[in-house]
């Protein structure tokens, strides 16, 4: 979908949900790190944490830009990861909501 397929209100709703999802992903990451840091007991555990952080950073940076051509996929993925809910998307066109809900099931 291009920007012209979105009303200004829909763009505002989608962007707010997107930004909330990004913020929640950081909150989840911080919580996970706080819980796992106490388990560091060897060099291997440190490198595993490093690898985990590298993966998380790659995924987070993939969310850096709000891209209307991919936003439905991104929002569906955020729902799947429980970073946002379908309630965060209230106000979007029913067709867009249906697509997001359907994509979030897979």
Q: Name which residue leads in pLDDT, 91 or 5.
A: 91
Note whether 66 and 9 are within 8 A (CB). no
pTM value? 0.85
The closest of 96, 87, 73, 69 to 17, measured between CA atoms, is 87
Is the model's pLDDT at 3 over the cut of 70?
Answer: no
Question: In the numeric block, which tokens belong to residue 25?
Answer: 């992903």
What SS3 class is residue 31?
A: helix
At 50 the pLDDT is 95
**Domain count along the chain:** 1
Dump pLDDT digits (tens) for 29-76.
999 999 989 889 999 999 999 999 999 999 888 877 898 889 999 999
Quote the domain boundaries for residue 9: 3-103
Q: Which residues contact 18 (CB under 8 A, 6 or more apart)?
A: 63, 66, 71, 74, 75, 78
Give the H or E element holding residue 56. Answer: helix 43-62
* Average of per-residue pLDDT values in the chain: 92
């Amino acid at each position: 979908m291009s920007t012209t397929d979105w009303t200004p209100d829909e763009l505002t709703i989608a962007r707010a949900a997107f930004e909330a999802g990004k913020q929640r992903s950081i909150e989840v990451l911080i919580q996970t790190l706080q819980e796992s840091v106490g388990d560091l007991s060897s060099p291997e555990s440190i490198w595993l944490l490093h690898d985990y952080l590298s993966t998380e950073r790659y995924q987070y940076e993939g969310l850096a830009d709000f891209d209307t051509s991919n936003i439905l996929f991104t929002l569906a993925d955020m729902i799947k990861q429980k970073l946002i809910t379908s309630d965060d998307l209230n106000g979007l066109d029913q067709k867009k909501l249906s697509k997001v809900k359907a994509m979030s099931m897979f």
